[in-house]
């Protein structure tokens, strides 16, 4: 089993520009230390219709109400306001760009939380983006993995999705195939699917899928911080 | 249309259910996803029903009536059926947070 950079095709070059957008990094930084409620706020706003912050403040009284734990000026409120402002900036993009930016944010967020495994403040050198995994005698998959952990004995292939609807047979097969091919080479590879959506929605999606997924680790909105372990 | 005031958690869930039902109808326009739309809506309606059973008599809390109004208006503004599918998941999560529940 070996890891390889994905070929820089036209899609990858365009998408690299999206990934490099400073807004992507800023939103991911905010969400990495956000509460579940704040992450759901971001999800709602980035896929919403309204661009008026008053609407969203009304919709989330436990984040923006007068009786929130730290009032109108504490750090939690400040983070909620920052998440709201940046999420609105994403929502104000055109529909296609908005979808691409959202996807890039989930990937960037995933990478940031995974890097915490190495300990506070240090960068896990084996964490990479847009990598393919090659196995002897097996044709390489076309699509690279969004995030990989390339640590001997603890390697991991991670695909990221914005919503439960993004879970499909192709991604489930690719992840399970990678895990099983690694096992054939007596290597351990954890296959992980990160979905920026509720566990309940993911379960509803998975219930209708026949592709193998029992050995794939699902990380939903409620369990994102488990990526650090 | 006259609406009932939202006093309790059950009132909030009941008031939001009409907008959620409309969202389901919009999402069903994506024929390839009809089964998922149905499963998703069933899963979240069951969760909301559980909360109404367990905490329905409790006071709704500060800001919940405005939250339900804003959430329902946002859902009704969604005209794209694909976005409606995504909101079938988002809508109940926002509602549950408003009434102090984890999704």
| Domain annotation covers residue A43 | yes
Q: List C-alpha distances in Å: A177 to A1, A41, A107, A212.
A: 12, 35, 21, 9
Q: Which of B77, B86, B100 sits opposite A163 (nearest CB)?
A: B86
A92 with A127, same domain: the answer is no
Query: Does position A120 have pLDDT exceeding 50, yes or no?
Result: no
**pLDDT at res. A65:** 87
Tell me whether residues A59 and B44 touch, CB distance under 8 A.
no
CB contact at 8 A, A191 and A167: no
Nearest Cα to Cα of residue B33 among A37, A164, A46, A89: A164
Q: How far apart are CA A208 and CA A86, in angstroms?
A: 34
- pLDDT tens, chain B, 103 aa long: 556 799 999 999 999 999 999 999 999 999 999 999 999 999 999 999 999 999 999 999 999 999 999 999 999 999 999 999 999 999 999 999 999 999 8
A132 with A48, same domain: the answer is no
pLDDT tier at A119, thresholds 50, 70, 90: low
Pairing state between β A189-195 and A155-161: parallel
Residue of A nearest to B45 (CA): A200
How far does the CA of residue A192 sit from the closest CA of chain B (Å)?
A: 21
Tell me the chain B residues in contact with residue A221 when contact means C-beta distances shorter than 8 Å.
Answer: 103
pTM listed for this prediction: 0.94
Residue of B nearest to A222 (CA): B103
| Domain annotation covers residue A115 | no
The arithmetic mean of pLDDT across residues A129-147, rounded, is 90
A215 with A140, same domain: the answer is yes
Structural domain for A177, as ranges: 2-7+122-228
The total number of structural domains in chain A stands at 2
| Domain annotation covers residue A116 | no
Tell me the chain B residues in contact with residue A65 when contact means C-beta distances shorter than 8 Å.
Answer: 62-63
**pLDDT at res. A139:** 87
Query: Within 13 Å and on the Cβ side, how many CA atoms surround A198?
Result: 24
| Domain annotation covers residue A221 | yes
Mutation pick from B65, B71, B74, B92 vs chain A, by most beta carbons of A within 10 Å, is B74
SS3 A80: helix
- The edge-to-edge listing of strands for the beta sheet with A127-134 is A2-5, A127-134, A145-149, A155-161, A189-195, A217-219
A43 with A72, same domain: the answer is yes
Q: How far apart are CA A27 and CA A102, in angstroms?
A: 10
How far does the CA of residue B54 sit from the closest CA of chain A (Å)?
A: 19
Query: Does position A111 have pLDDT exceeding 50, yes or no?
Result: yes
What DSSP string runs through A173-222?
HHHHHHHHHHHHTT--EEEEEEESS-HHHHHHHHHT--S--TTSEEE-GG
| Domain annotation covers residue A59 | yes
Is residue B50 within 8 angstroms of chain A, CB to CB?
Answer: no
């Amino acid at each position: 089993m070996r890891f390889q950079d994905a070929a820089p095709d036209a899609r990858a070059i365009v998408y690299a520009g999206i990934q490099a957008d400073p807004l992507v990094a800023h939103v991911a930084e905010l969400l990495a230390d956000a509460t579940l409620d704040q992450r759901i706020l971001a999800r709602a706003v980035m896929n919403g219709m309204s661009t008026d912050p008053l609407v969203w403040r009304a919709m989330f009284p436990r984040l923006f109400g007068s009786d929130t734990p730290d009032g109108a000026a504490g750090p939690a409120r400040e983070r909620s306001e920052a998440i709201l402002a940046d999420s609105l900036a994403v929502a104000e993009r055109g529909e296609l760009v908005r979808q691409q930016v959202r996807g890039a944010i989930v990937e960037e967020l995933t990478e940031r939380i995974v890097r915490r495994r190495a300990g506070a403040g240090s960068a896990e050198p084996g964490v990479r983006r847009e990598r393919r995994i090659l196995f002897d005698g097996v044709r390489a998959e076309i699509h690279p993995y969004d995030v990989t952990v390339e640590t001997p004995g603890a390697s991991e292939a991670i695909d990221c999705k914005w919503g439960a609807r993004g879970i499909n047979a192709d991604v489930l097969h690719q992840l399970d195939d990678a895990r099983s091919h690694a096992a054939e080479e007596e290597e351990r590879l954890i296959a992980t699917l990160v979905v920026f959506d509720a566990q309940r929605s993911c379960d509803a999606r998975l219930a209708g899928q026949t592709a193998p997924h029992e050995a794939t680790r699902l990380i939903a909105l409620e369990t994102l911080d488990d990526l650090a372990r | 249309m006259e609406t009932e005031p939202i006093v309790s958690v059950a009132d909030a869930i009941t008031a939001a259910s009409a907008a959620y039902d409309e969202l389901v109808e919009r999402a069903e326009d994506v024929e390839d996803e009809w089964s998922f739309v149905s499963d998703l809506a069933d899963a979240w309606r069951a969760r909301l029903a559980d909360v109404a059973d367990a905490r329905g008599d409790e006071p709704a809390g500060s800001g919940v009536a405005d939250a339900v109004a804003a959430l329902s208006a946002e859902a009704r503004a969604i005209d794209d059926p694909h976005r409606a599918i995504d909101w079938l998941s988002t809508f109940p999560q926002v509602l549950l947070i408003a009434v102090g529940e984890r999704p």
